Structure 1
Amino acid sequence: MTNPRPKLIELQDVSIGFGSAGQMRVVEGINLLIRAGETVALVGESGSGKSVTSLAIMRLLPRAKIGGRILWHGEGEAVDLLTLPPRQMRAYRGGAIGMIFQEPMTSLNPLFRVGTQIIEATRLHRDVSRREARAIAEDALRLVGIPEPASRLDNMPFEMSGGMRQRVMIAMSLVCRPALLIADEPTTALDVTIQAQILDLLRRLQSELGMSMLFITHDFGVVAEMAERIAVMYAGQIVEQGAADQILSRPANPYTSALLDAIPRLEGRVERLASIEGVVPDPNHWPAGCRFAPRCRHAIPGHCTDRPPPLEPADPGRSIRCVRWPEFVEPVHA
């Protein structure tokens, strides 16, 4: 069955490198599609390449060498964002594409009032007066649930709590009604209660505004609440992607399984929480075969360590990077 929703943005064989010739490849061969109104979660440990991928979409990596294509479908003919001149790209960045950064305290300028910053973002992309922009900013703060929004516009960032600053960042990303919202760890460093409020807010706003969302996280508990599809990243590559219910109930890549096993559970008693031994490898020294092989308890010397495995199609709409995946995935029963 084909997906009736049109394509919005599509990453085709995207690679990101740093250094004078881009020789340090931190991301390789990323293929990812987000449709209109869809939430896709990009999941993986710190250092997997999730945030760098999102910054490449926004063209916020001036020193990086970015290969492949990032196609914005929107309305009319697809546009490759990587080929746009800086001036044209600014029309997409903050306009058609909004972004919530990880750390609201470092993302907000500490020297300016929050209202000034939201107004600046509004006037950059919309032809409105300063008075109209202030009214739009006030409505945006009201939309994200900040009480007394008119007076809050005059607050400095340090006068607001972490949860309030995160709401300001969400408001700033939404003032231009983007078609795509990139949420990069939007609940990092927030307590559990505030985290739940932010997630509820994002779900409500997505429903009201009809926007797509790329939700970047390392927390599968959050993914289960937010995403329709999941792409799992490890060491700069997508190792598994597909529908959220498929991946959460029948993970096929050992890395995905290890991430899910590491989620603490309330039922039963355990002596020791599950963990993944080792660390994500250095981009200067990627393993020759499967990049997860040095940490994988299922790895077979030679079979898994000599050649890099391809990203293979499995179930409809699902792909897996592991030479042993048919052994791990359970068949779908009719």
Structure 2
Amino acid sequence: MEQVGIVVIGAGCVGAAVAYALRNSGREVFVLERAPRPCMGMSSRNSGVVHAGIYYPKESLKTRLCRRGNRLLHEFAPKHGVPFEKVGKYIVAHDAAACATLEQLYQHNLGAVPLEWRTAEQVPNGVHCRKALFSPTTAIIDQDSLVNKLLEESGAELLLHQEVTSVTAEENGVILTINGETCRASWVFNCGGLDSDQLCNHTTHFYARGVYFQIKPPPGIQLPHLVYPAVPKERETLGIHLTCNLAGEWYLGPDIEWIDTPSYGVDPNRADAFYRAAVTYLPWLERNMLQPGYAGVRAKRSRHHFSDFLFHREGRLVHCLGIESPGLTAAMAIGEMLAADCIA
């Protein structure tokens, strides 16, 4: 049986970040991707927002890894020429209940994450609100460029069209079946995104589809890149928010819909709900401005409760499970954490 070094399954944000974190391990690292190129799964279908880590329970992995990952991306992206912009984010409240939610968010993050109060007059004129919080460390990034630069800097060997169908932990290694052939690796990191649960009996993913509608603001409207409504931390989404990517495209979304099988269609009829949600803080918005954009699917570990990231270890086999938002932001911190045990 062929013996190889370290294997990373999946060439999305997390897999690329794990490979990058292993660059000084002194071992040969292989990244296996079943698609024709990197960053074609969940990593390619999110909003590209680098989050600050303000919504999740304080002691959760999502909070800790998101905040650490945010700092790492702020260092890595400019240094390596990855398209990245520190745009900040406005979280806006238009009624008393939403203002109370803003206060809760502020207190939840006091001393840990910078948040700045804004009056209605301090928010760009295209946004209506009573008051707002501004998150200065929120940014936007090009996911595809990030993944490719992490892989390039990692020195790992990227192998495409590689389908891993089984992984079995042994005392000092892991047996893999790849494209019908069996080999043995010293370590394996299962970063398979939506399908990482297919190689692990410990948990099952639920699929949550979120769609985006594209809009074109009329001339003269002044908008920040990111505007989020104030929603309670207990909600399953952050509400229908406004994002602008590095290409200058404006989107509203996402919503959430539980599905049995990943699919990426956008039903034009869902635009009515998007319009009703967004017009509360974008008063100039008209229904005919919304056009179907794109959809993404998240891998969630629960349909009903907050579910944290899960790193299930079996000897030298590590499964990365439920790595949904803020997985892009947390990716480099995840890689740093997982590589520490392997390199030690």
Task: Report TM bin, short chain.
Answer: under 0.3
Query: Which has more helix, going by share of residues?
Result: 1
Query: Which has more strand, going by share of residues?
Result: 2
- Greater RCO (CA < 8 Å, at least 6 residues apart): 2
